Structure 1
Amino acid sequence: MTGAVITIAIILIIAGGSTLSVIAYFRLQRHRADAVAMASYRKLAEEASAGQEALRQELGAIEDRLKAIETLLRSVG
């Protein structure tokens, strides 16, 4: 009787360890996929930030031109 209990306990320990290993593996794979997605989002955010900065510079140049045109129009009028 005790031999059967020991055998069942060993089988349960092995099955539990295998199950935990499989769960840990798939969690690791999910974490890796999330890390790749976050890296792509970070790259997209950096590109958006760079594009926004370029637009700010262009808007500043347009504002300077507009001020020059306003000054010219005031001097003519």
Structure 2
Amino acid sequence: MTGALIAIAIVLIVIGGITTSTVAYFRLQRHRSDAAAMAEYRRLAEEAVANQQALNGKLTELHTRVEAVETLLRSVE
């Protein structure tokens, strides 16, 4: 009877180790895919910031041009 219990305990320990290893492997794969997705989001955010800064520069240029036109129109009156 003792031998059977030892054999069952050994089998359970081996199955537990295999299960733990499998779960850890899939968690690692999920973490890697999450990290890749975050890197892509970070790249998109940096691109959006760059585009926003370029747009802000163009708006500033447009604002100065409109002010120049307003000044010209006021001087004509």
TM range (shorter): over 0.9
- Extract structure 1 runs of 4+ deviating beyond 4 A: none
> Please, which runs of 5 or more residues in structure 1 have no aligned partner?
none
Is residue 2:72 matched to residue 1:72? Answer: yes
Corresponding residue number in structure 2 for 1:51: 51
Cα separation, 2, equivalents of 1:69 and 1:42: 41
Query: How does the TM-score come out when normalised to structure 1?
Result: 0.99
Cα separation, 2, equivalents of 1:34 and 1:70: 53
Corresponding residue number in structure 1 for 2:26: 26
Deviations 1:31-62, CA, capped at 9 Å, x for gaps: 00000000000000000000000000000000
Query: How does the TM-score come out when normalised to structure 2?
Result: 0.99
Shift of 1:10: 0.3
Number of equivalenced pairs: 77
Structure 2 counterpart of 1:8, which letter?
I
Shift of 1:17: 0.5
Corresponding residue number in structure 1 for 2:40: 40
